[in-house]
Chains A and B, each alone.
Chain A
C-alpha cells in the first residue's frame, strides 16, 4: 500500500521579507562569510606550511635554492651503497636520478641504478628500522632536507618495488609438471 501522508507542497508560498527578516538575513550572510573566510584561510595557510614539491635528484643536486628546504624527491636506490647500522638505527644509501624518457618504471629504475653517469645523491636517515623494500633498483620517495654537506637528511622514506606490482604466476612449477 502506498502511504498517503503527503505534505502540503510548499511551492508558491511566498512572503514579502520584512525589515527584521532582512537584517536577520544580513547577520547570517556576514556570519557565513566570516566562517567561510576563516576556513579558506586555514586551508590556504596549511597548504603553504605542508606543501612539498615532488622533485628529482637532478632538480635538487647543485641547486642552492633547495638547501635547507623541506622537499619530497624520488630516485632509484643503488643497492651496493646501502649501509645499515642496526644498533644505532642509522641508514645510509645513495639514490640516482630517474630518467624521464622511459614509459616503463622498471626500465627507468634499472637504467638509473646502473648508469654511472646519472646524478647521485647520498641519503641519511636516523632512528630508523631498515625497510623491507630497500633494495637495488627500488624507487625511493623521500621527504627531508638537503644539507650543505650534500647529504639528503630524510625524515620519511617510502619505497616502491616495480616487481611487487607484477602479477605472480605459478611459473616454473607448471613447467616442471610439463617436463614430468
Chain B
C-alpha cells in the first residue's frame, strides 16, 4: 500500500511540476492571469505531494517493508530506528526523492514569500524552478524509483525490481526478504552523515531560487535590481546550508574515513566546493549592483554559473562516473544529468547574451579608483573564480582534456592543489582584510593605510608571540599573517562601531554591540562570517603544515613515547557486539603529556563482516587533536599497531564553521523579525531616486 501511495504522489508531483512550468510561461505570454495563478497553485502542490511520497517511504523504512526494493537495500532487521530514518538518504533512490522534496520546499517558500512583491517576475521564475524540479522528479520516477518492489517468477525463479507486477510474477513474503536485506552502508552510520547530506542538498537545491529569478529577469526584461532584492536572502540561505554541508562532510571524513584529515581534494568534494566558491563571489558582487548599478552582466553570469556548478556537482556525485568515497554507485542518471546541465547552462547563456547585445545590461557607473570598494570586490570575484577554475581544471578539466586529445589520462594529484590554491587563498584573505576598509567610488591610499595600521600592528604582535611560543615556518608565518590581518580588521571594525555608540549614546558595551548588529545586520553579519573564515583558516594552516603522523606498535601495558611532549600507554583490549550486529574490537589507551595522564581514548575496529572500519579515538583541545587509529592487533602476542596523528588547531575548523553560520544567520535574518528599535533609519535607496 505504501508503495502505491508513494508512486501516486510522485507521479502527481511530476505532472504538477510539468503543468506549472508550461502553464506559467503560456499564461505570461498570453497575459492570462488565471493560467498563471493555476501554474502557481500547481507548483505549490508539488511540496505536499512530495511530502506524502517521502513520508510513505519513511514509514516503509520504519515498518520494515522489505518488499520495497529501496528498504531492502538500505536496512535490515538489525538496523536501529535512528538509522532507519537516515537511510532515507542513504542511497541514490531515496536521496533523489529527498532532494526533490527539499527543492520543492525552496520553490514553494519562494513563491509563497515573493508572490506579491515580485509579481512581474514570478511566472518565469516558477517556470524555471519547476522545469528543474520536474527534471529531478522525472529522474526519480523513471530511472531511480524508490517505490519499486521485488517480484519473482514462481516457475523460473527469476527476480526483478518493478513498480508494477510483471505478468506471471509474484511478491515474495516480507520475512524471506528480511533475511537477505542489505543493511545501511557502514560508512553512513555516523552522526555527520545524519545531517551532512540534507544540509548539502539544501545548499545545492537552494540555488534554484536565485537561478529562477535571474532567468525570469532575463526572460521578462525586468532587468532592474528587483531580481537581486528578491533573491539575496535566498542566496544567503542556500550558501549557509552549503557551507554547513561542506563543514559536516569534512567532519564525517575526519571521524569515519580514518586518514587523519578532513579534506582530500577528492573530485566529489571539489564538485561540492565549486558552487560554494562561485556562490560566494555572487554574494559579494551583488552588493555592487545594488549600491552602484554595476556588474549587471557579471552578476547574471555568476548566478548562472553557481546553478550550473550545482548541476555539475550533482552529476559528479550521483552518476558514479567519478570514483570517490563520497559518490553513489554507478547509475543510469549520468547521461540525463549531463544533458540537463548542458541545456540549462545553454539557455542561461543564450538569454544573457541576447539581453547584453540589446544593451539592456549596461552599467550605470565606471570603475573609479584602483582602491575603491567596487574594484576590490571585483578582485575578490576574480580570486574566487580563479579558485573555481583551478579546482575544476585539477579535478575534471585536465583528466578529460588529456583523455580526449592526448590519448592518455593525466590526473592531477594533491601536489597540484597544494601548489595552486594557497596563493589564491592568501590573496582572498588579503582582500578580506582590505576591502571592508575601502569606500565606494574611490578611496585615498593614505586613508586606507591609516585604517590598516591598528590591525597590522595587532597582527605583527600576534605573529611575534606565536614565533616565540611555537615552531614556525616561513609559509606558516605568511599564512597566519594574512589570516590574522583579515580577522583583526573585522574585529577592529566591530569594536569601533560599538565604541561610537558607547560614546555617542552612553550605551553599555554589550548593548552597543547588539544594537550595532541589529541596525546593520548585513555589514556586521558579514564581519562575523569573515571571522568564521579566519578561524577556519587558522585551523587549516595549523593542521596542514604542522600535522605529525607516526605508526607505532605497542605491547599491552607498555608506554610508548610519541614526541617530546606526548606518550601513549596501551591499557586494554576488549571485544564486544553492537546492537546492529557489528563486532567491536576496542583498545583502551592512556595519553600522557609530560608524564601526566591527561585522557583515556578508545580507538577501535568495527567489523561488519563484509568490511572493517577504523574508528579513531581522539583527545580534542583547542590547541590540537591527539587522534589515534587502531590499525591491527595480535591478541596472543599482546601487541597492537596504532597510527597516531597530532593535528594542531584542527578544532578551529569546526569552531570557525559555527561562527560562519552564526554570521550568516545574522546577515540573512528577516528584517521584519528584528525588533523595531534596532532598525537603522531608512535611507532612500539610490535606485529609487532614479525613479522616473
Contacts and interface: CB of A to CB of B under 8 A. Distances in A.
Interface string B454-480: 000000000000000000000000000
A20 to B, nearest CB: 10
A52 B402 CA distance: 11
Contact of B641 (A2, A39, A89): A89
Contacts of A136: none
A158 B390 contact: no
25 contacts: A5-B224, A6-B224, A7-B687, A10-B293, A10-B363, A28-B375, A31-B370, A42-B420, A42-B423, A47-B412, A50-B413, A51-B410, A51-B416, A52-B410, A52-B412, A53-B409, A54-B411, A127-B551, A129-B258, A129-B632, A132-B612, A156-B413, A175-B157, A177-B152, A177-B176
B415 A49 contact: yes
A65 interface: no
A173 B412 contact: no
B408 A54 contact: yes
Contacts of B366: 21, 24
A100 interface: no
A46 B73 contact: no
Contact of A28 (B119, B367, B413, B414): B367
Nearest to B122: A2
Contacts of B631: 86, 89, 129
Nearest to A87: B553
A10 B362 contact: yes
Contacts of B423: 42
A55 B632 CA distance: 32
Given A2-B119, A11-B359, A43-B420, A174 B691 contact: no
B419 interface: yes
Contact of A169 (B159, B416, B688): B159
Contacts of B157: 174-175, 178
Interface string A123-140: 000010110100000000
Interface in B558-605: none
A17 to B, nearest CB: 9
Interface stretch (B177-185, B244-252, B651-659): B177-185
A110 interface: no
Interface of A: 1-3, 5-13, 21, 24, 27-28, 31, 35, 39, 42-43, 45-47, 49-55, 70, 72, 86-89, 127, 129-130, 132, 143, 156, 158, 160, 164-165, 168-178
Given A7-B224, A177-B172, A50 B415 contact: yes
A103 B410 CA distance: 21
A5 to B, nearest CB: 6
Nearest to B612: A132
A7 B641 contact: no
A174 B639 contact: no
B179 A173 contact: yes
Given A51-B410, A52-B410, 6 more contacts: A35-B379, A52-B411, A130-B632, A164-B329, A168-B73, A173-B176
Nearest to A170: B180
Contacts of A143: 413
A167 B608 CA distance: 19
Contacts of B370: 27-28, 31
Contact of A46 (B154, B224, B411, B419): B419
Contact of A47 (B224, B414, B416): B416
A43 B395 CA distance: 12
Given A47-B412, A86-B632, A177 B173 contact: yes
B642 to A, nearest CB: 10
Contacts of B73: 168
A173 B180 CA distance: 7
A171 B408 contact: no
Nearest to A32: B382
B419 A24 contact: no
Contacts of A50: 394, 412-417, 419
Q: Which of A10, A11, A172 has the most CB of B within 10 A?
A: A10
Contact of A52 (B226, B379, B413, B419): B413
B692 A174 contact: no
B298 to A, nearest CB: 13
A5 B226 contact: yes
A94 B611 CA distance: 22
A53 B399 CA distance: 9
A25 B108 CA distance: 45
For chain B, the bracket of interface size reads 35 or more
Nearest to A70: B413
Interface in B355-387: 359-360, 362-364, 366-368, 370, 375, 379, 382, 386
Contact of A170 (B172, B368, B688): B172
A132 B325 CA distance: 13
Contacts of A2: 119-120
The 5 lowest CB-CB distance pairs between A and B, nearest first, are A50-B416, A46-B420, A54-B409, A173-B180, A46-B419
Given A50-B394, A86-B632, A169-B159, A158 B323 contact: yes
* Consensus secondary structure, chain B interface: mixed
Contacts of B226: 3, 5
A12 B367 CA distance: 19
A171 B161 CA distance: 12
B262 interface: no
Q: Which of A2, A55, A127 has the most CB of B within 10 A?
A: A2
B672 interface: no
A147 B293 CA distance: 61
A31 B632 CA distance: 57
A5 B684 CA distance: 12
B691 A46 contact: no
B614 A46 contact: no
B117 interface: yes
Contacts of A86: 631-632, 634, 641
A154 B382 CA distance: 38
Nearest to A164: B329
B393 interface: yes
Contacts of B634: 86-87
Interface in B674-692: 687-688, 690-692
B412 A46 contact: yes
Contacts of B159: 169-171, 174
B318 to A, nearest CB: 14
Interface string B654-671: 000000000000000000
Given A87-B641, A170-B72, A49 B360 contact: no
B116 interface: yes
Contacts of A158: 323
Contacts of A12: 359
Nearest to B118: A3
A10 B118 CA distance: 21
A174 B412 contact: no
B390 A42 contact: yes
Interface in B607-646: 611-612, 614, 629, 631-632, 634, 639, 641, 643
B330 interface: yes
Contact of B412 (A3, A51, A132, A176): A51
A177 to B, nearest CB: 4
Nearest to A130: B632
B403 to A, nearest CB: 8
Contacts of B177: 170, 173-174
Given A52-B411, A86-B631, A171 B180 contact: yes
B116 A1 contact: yes
Contacts of B273: none
B119 A46 contact: no
